[in-house]
């Protein structure tokens, strides 16, 4: 394994999973109920990454968000598995790293119940040492407290940990945790944006990242 990595934390949406159609449909269902036009997919992609409440602030005033959240979440659960698909190379990456003895965990700002349904549906759950999602702790990425909690739960050292993600939130979360982030451009941000944010390495997708990660130094 590259750089002696023994624990890999994996972001979910935009990294392991293409859930953008599902997320977009949920916003198109929710926002018109609050007098807003249905957003474009591009608008939704730009908004997500910091958790649902933070994303909703791009579309609704603060005093409407609390009422919108349960509507969005309920509709998401209703349609969750209809359009869901793994990113290219995601299942191969997880299966291979698990077979190599690497400790794997999902590290996401997606809500806990949804994250667990997604991982179970894709057959990832038996290969994971943990799923750390919104609502499991008081923190969200990029909080340093979340990173410290997750590493303590996993018994992992920062020097032997890598975060794989697709957004500046992931890069900042890794920085706050004391470990690097390798980023892919399959999510919400370009290679230039990810490099500017401080990603240690940037890849066009998981197959290239997989190859680089499993090269023997």
pLDDT at residue 1, rounded to an integer: 75
- pTM of the prediction? 0.88
Q: Residues 10-19: pLDDT tens digits?
A: 999 999 999 9
Q: Is the pLDDT of residue 160 over 90?
A: yes
Q: Is residue 1 part of a domain?
A: no
Region label for 3, one of left (φ > 0), alpha (ψ between -120 and 50) or beta (otherwise): left
Question: Based on the domain organization, do 12 and 27 belong to the same domain?
Answer: no
Query: Which of 44, 79, 114 is the last residue before a domain boundary?
Result: 79
Q: What is the mean pLDDT of residues 32-59?
A: 93
Question: Based on the domain organization, do 95 and 127 belong to the same domain?
Answer: yes
Domain count, the chain: 2
pLDDT at residue 48, rounded to an integer: 85
Q: Residues 46-95: pLDDT tens digits?
A: 898 788 999 999 999 999 999 999 999 999 999 999 999 999 999 999 99
Question: Based on the domain organization, do 127 and 35 belong to the same domain?
Answer: no
pLDDT at residue 80, rounded to an integer: 93
Question: Based on the domain organization, do 66 and 97 belong to the same domain?
Answer: no
Query: Which of 35, 61, 79 is the last residue before a domain boundary?
Result: 79
DSSP 26: H
Reported as a pLDDT band with limits 50, 70 and 90, residue 143 is: very high
Q: Residues 170-187: pLDDT tens digits?
A: 999 999 999 999 999 999
Here the CATH number for the domain that contains residue 26 is 1.10.150
| Percentage of the chain modeled with pLDDT above 70 | 100
Q: Residues 190-212: pLDDT tens digits?
A: 999 999 999 999 999 999 999 99
pLDDT at residue 87, rounded to an integer: 98
Instruction: Enumerate residues 6+ apart whose C-beta is below 8 A from 202.
Output: 182, 183, 184, 185, 191, 194, 195
Query: Which of 79, 98, 126 is the last residue before a domain boundary?
Result: 79
Reported as a pLDDT band with limits 50, 70 and 90, residue 132 is: very high
DSSP assignment of 76-145: HHHHTTTS-EEPTTHHHHHHHHHHTT-EEEEEEEEEHHHHHHHHHHTT-GGG-SEEEEETSSS--TT-HH
Question: Based on the domain organization, do 169 and 98 belong to the same domain?
Answer: yes
DSSP 39: P
Question: Based on the domain organization, do 181 and 145 belong to the same domain?
Answer: yes
Q: Which domain holds residue 186?
A: 7-16+87-215
Structure tokens at 11: 């972001």
């Amino acid at each position: 394994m590259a750089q002696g990595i023994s624990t890999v934390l994996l972001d979910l949406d935009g990294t392991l999973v293409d859930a953008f159609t599902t997320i977009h449909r949920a916003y198109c269902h929710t926002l018109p109920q609050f007098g807003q036009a249905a957003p474009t997919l591009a608008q939704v992609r730009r908004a997500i990454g910091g958790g649902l409440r933070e994303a909703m602030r791009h579309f609704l005033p603060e005093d409407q968000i609390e009422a919108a959240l349960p509507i969005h979440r309920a509709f998401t659960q209703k349609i969750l598995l209809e359009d869901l698909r793994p990113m290219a190379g995601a299942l191969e990456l997880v299966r291979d790293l698990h077979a190599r003895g690497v400790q794997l965990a999902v590290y996401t700002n997606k809500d806990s119940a949804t994250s667990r349904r997604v991982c179970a549906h894709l057959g990832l759950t038996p290969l994971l040492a943990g799923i750390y999602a919104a609502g499991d702790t008081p923190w969200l990425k990029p909080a340093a407290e979340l990173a410290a909690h997750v590493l303590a739960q996993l018994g992992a050292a920062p020097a032997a940990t890598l975060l794989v993600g697709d957004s500046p939130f992931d890069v900042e979360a890794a920085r706050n945790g004391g470990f690097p982030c390798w980023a892919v451009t399959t999510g919400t941000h370009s290679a230039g944006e990810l490099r500017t944010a401080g990603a240690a390495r940037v890849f066009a997708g998981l197959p290239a990242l997989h190859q680089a990660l499993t090269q023997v130094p």
